[in-house]
Structure 1
Amino acid sequence: MSSTTHVLITGTNRGIGKGLLSTYLARPNHILIAGVRDPSSASSKALSALPHGENSKVIVVKIDSLSQTDALTAVQTLKSEYKITKLDIVIANAGIANQWGPARTTPAKAMIEHFEVNVVGPLLLFQATAELLDAAPEPKFFTISSVVGSVSYQDKLPLESSAYGTSKAALNFVTARIHFENPKIVAAPVHPGWLQTEMGNDSAKGVGMEEAPVSVEEGVAGIIDKLDKATKEKSSGTFLSFDGEPVGW
């Protein structure tokens, strides 16, 4: 009998998170833990009805990235109620991008909010799941980042994104530290592409485009391909991209 793969993903109600959840759920012998802000919402309840492979299912848990206790409480619930003893894959996907503009006019409040959700949230998620990751034979912790957080890419970006970009650069640093400090865990940030999500299309319209250039399906397929092939020796501690193109820090 095949062993069960346990995958925890945050921000699964829509966009990238839902796409990742759906793809893994379609595989056999996968337990998907869907982290959502509000498990009682219609979109959260609908996750359990997504098509699933043989012996696969969804467990919905509350993980709000602004909460300092949600991730830890969720893990305690997984252990006590669902008897989960390991996590093979954790994907910190939940994030925000709701303020655009030059550094000169970026409000301090926007910087703080982006940092709390996009950096502190994933860090707390890792801290809460580290023990269960250590219990897996080949654990992987991936963060959904963005080329917008690449310092070496700033001269090529059409977006003025001090709050969002700074938070993703910091997320990359945290993910790199997780790689260096945990010899067993494969850890890397992943650029998912400029996707046709609500967030991606809003930013595209801000620079005069009708929509973002990459479909959610293409981005999700690329992310999972990189994650499936990821190893400690070749992938961990590098800045990955959905399309395989190298991304500078």
Structure 2
Amino acid sequence: MRDPAENGQLALLLEVAGTPKPGNVDRERDYGDLRFEHFLAGAVGARTGLRAAADGASIGTAFESSIEGMSGQSGGNTQFGALLVTVPLVRAAADGRLTPDGVTETVEATTVEDACAFYEAFEHVGVAVDDPPEGLDSLDVRRGAAATDALRERGATLYDVMALSADRDGVAAEWCSGFERSFEAAGWLLDDEGPIHRRASRAFLRLLAAEPDTFVITRNGETAAEEATRRARAVLDGEADADALAEEFVARDINPGTTADITAGALFVALERGLEV
């Protein structure tokens, strides 16, 4: 029987194996120099941090360790956001608190040092992020470890940092909503039938159809994000082909990465709740 650390790693692997996931790397599609095997290696590398989370390490420490391990492949950032969703879920599951309220208690208990570790994780890999809120340049995550003094001066915990971005970043919104979408999509996965790579694809499409992907907004703009949501709905309604849309979005570099991150979290919750592999 797998423990939370093992299910965390398996969730990362099942997420990238899910196909088709329009705009994302999957087992049938690569992005030039970012390929399927890089995600497999990233999931293997993240295991040390996931194990730390399951064994009781603080979320920030476990997350920074998982990113350091994930970065040990030549493709760059493969699962930064997915781990930011999955690590606190693993931590909560290890404590027997894998519920929206339990995970909320877990993330609200993070500390300033957790926030510092989160910023230090940006030293390991490049991450596409939006500009910080007005007046908070000192807390720009792109500063990495250079921002830790500002974090300590403000007494900002990792939960506080997530709350600053929750209105414009889908992963941060998960932290501040009891991981609502991850738990909802886990239910879809458990209620669905067939091979998991297809269930993951359908869950991804349902998430994307429900609201615009914030990573697409950051990289491609709101119009592209709204288009991605509209066209995911068309696939679900049987009016468009998912594989054709996947090929098109890869060609156009429209990458709903936040939706993939939440799909990984959903897969973890579903595995913990009995999804059979």
TM-score range, shorter chain: 0.3 to 0.5
RCO greater where, 1 or 2, for CA within 8 Å and sep 6 or more?
2
Q: Kindly indicate which of the two structures has a greater share of residues assigned to strand.
A: 1
Q: Kindly indicate which of the two structures has a greater share of residues assigned to helix.
A: 2
TM-score, scaled relative to structure 2: 0.35
